[in-house]
Homo-oligomer: A and B are copies of this chain.
């Protein structure tokens, strides 16, 4: 079966929805300090309630709310101050009828108290006595023992990368480590007789340094994976098949950037087909740039064949590869990408039935499309972000408001 026969372009949304290799990484236990961005394998729950005790939220006096009933400036309620609570210690004295205990913000409420009078609403009239000029209701000036978190509450859901505040709540609950998905290992294979290692000091005419592998490594890290560079393979289907087979055995996802020429691309297709069942899912996506993209599976391992030129390869990997890497790594709630709304500075044409990805600079609220041969990687480093023109549109008009997904 020749790769050519596959070359009917599939809409990107269909590819993302339909191509769902079952591979998931295993689990591992990491300490809280190393857990930022890691993906809980199952929901993390709290063993105990938090704060765990009824807590004052103001500086003031713990009382029985009923004792303040009807209190006003004109007719204050009087309390005997029975003592005070120290921060970080249980209250040594209880609150009874007509007594108050001084509590600082954050302290535990003494037994018998059910509200806290703010110090601003009290007056010390004589030593050991205060008067309250306002009533309080039960619970005023306090948080309940389980108001922040109840026992068995979810501290962090499965599948959402841990954020800074999640680490805070884990610490509050005394959770020292978390079971997370292992970071997906992403094998990165480059092909093309013209491609030489970035370390190459002097190039011959016709040679280019491998830009794609380094950029893909960055995108893999952004997606929560571990880049596993597998080097550059010459345009030889046999060598390429063996390289891909080994990568599929050792990695969770395999990415191969094809050579630029038609011949090199065909060899990549042949090599991927030789990986066996279930094989090629699609060859050709309805996207520009990036049409000659190939999605396949070696067993459960996704294999992503990218176009030969770096710009196209990176555009497609961002839209298609990153979601695949995240899914393999257990992410079910992916983080949002930064974006902005801008006015398109000039008309951009597009073909219906194809997703167009247009690189733009954003200046003074205007999105200025950047054009150039798709072989120019500098378009991507100059761009602030990109605009997606979806399959139904035949272009975007000058002055139209567009959403720009911003690079960061």
Task: Check A377 against B168 for contact (C-beta < 8 Å).
Answer: yes
**Which residues does chain B contribute within 8 Å of A215, judged by CB atoms?**
164-165, 167-169, 171
> Which B residues are in CB contact (< 8 Å) with A204?
88-90
Q: Are B104 and A217 in touch, CB under 8 angstroms? A: no
CB neighbours (8 Å) of A171 from chain B are: 198, 209-211, 213-215
One digit per residue, 1 when the CB lies within 8 angstroms of any chain B CB and 0 when it does not, for chain A 330-346 equals 00000111111100000
Q: Contact: A214 with B87, CB < 8 Å?
A: no
Would you give the 0/1 interface string for A281-296, flagging 1 where the beta carbon is closer than 8 Å to chain B?
0000000000000000
Q: Are B373 and A205 in contact, CB atoms less than 8 angstroms apart?
A: no
Q: Is A33 an interface residue (CB 8 A)?
A: yes
**Chain B hits for A203, CB < 8 A:** 52
A195 to B168, CA, bound (A): 13
Interface contact A222-B164, CB-CB below 8 Å: yes
CB distance from A280 to the nearest CB of B (A): 22
Inter-chain contacts of A32 with B (CB < 8 A):
198, 214
How many copies of this chain does one complex carry? 2
Query: Which residues of chain A from 226 to 264 have any CB-CB distance to chain B below 8 Å in the complex?
Result: 227, 235, 259-264
A155 at the B interface (CB under 8 A): yes
Residues of B within 8 A of A340 (CB): 336, 339
Pairwise interchain contact B206-A408, C-beta atoms closer than 8 A: no
Most interface-central of A87, A148, A176, A380 (chain B CB within 10 A):
A87
A261 CB contacts on chain B under 8 angstroms:
59, 87, 104-107
The interface of chain A, by Cβ under 8 A from chain B, is: 32-33, 36, 50-53, 55, 57, 59, 85-91, 104-108, 143, 147-149, 153, 155-156, 161-176, 192-196, 198-201, 203-219, 221-222, 227, 235, 259-264, 308-310, 314, 335-341, 372-378, 380-381, 406-408
